[in-house]
Structure 1
Amino acid sequence: MHTFLVILGGFVLLALTVFGARTMDRTFSAALPLYLVVWFVLAALNMGVGVYHAGYSFMEELPIFIVVFGLPAATAVILARKF
């Protein structure tokens, strides 16, 4: 459930980034690098919580990190190319 909520948070951040880009009369492609960096840092912090506080190993958390970061990031890249 936690993984789903974090991925959902990535999509909410994506929606806010798209909205912010349109509000400032910019294309989402211009805001994409900022979104990817911010989302990478947040996903890495989530992974750090899993490693340091929940007691999982780095290798146990790595596939979860890839999914958590990858789904919203891939969606963002596809949206940037489409629009």
Structure 2
Amino acid sequence: MHTIFVILGGLLLLAAVFGAAHLTGRPFRAFLPWYLLVWLICAVVNMWIGVTQAGYSVMEELPILVLIFGVPAFAAVLLSRKSVETRVRRIP
């Protein structure tokens, strides 16, 4: 259940960054590297807490790290491609 909540947190962060890009008028693609960096740091901190506080080994936490980082990151990359395609179509 914790993993689902962390992934949802990553998707909420993605929505916030996408909204910030929209409000500033800049393409989401410009914000994508910063989102990925911040989310990677959050995912690694989650792994570190799992290893140091919950007692899991690094090898047990690695697949969870991949899942927690990968799902929102994949959604962000798809969103950045979708927003670029939408912008290209609107240009006469």
The reply on whether 1:12 has 2:12 as its aligned counterpart is yes
1:39 offset after TM fit, Å? 0.2
Structural mapping, 1:1-80, within 5 Å: 1-80=1-80
1:82 offset after TM fit, Å? 1.2
Normalised TM-score (structure 1): 0.99
Normalised TM-score (structure 2): 0.89
Amino acid at match of 2:82: K
- Give ranges in structure 2 of 5+ residues lacking alignment: 84-92
- Give ranges in structure 1 of 5+ residues lacking alignment: none
Aligned Cα root-mean-square deviation (Å): 0.4
Amino acid at match of 1:56: Y
Over 4 Å off, 4+ runs: none
Give the number of equivalent residue pairs: 83
1:23 offset after TM fit, Å? 0.7
CA distance in 2 between counterparts of 1:22 and 1:30 reads 11
Identity among equivalent positions (%) equals 54
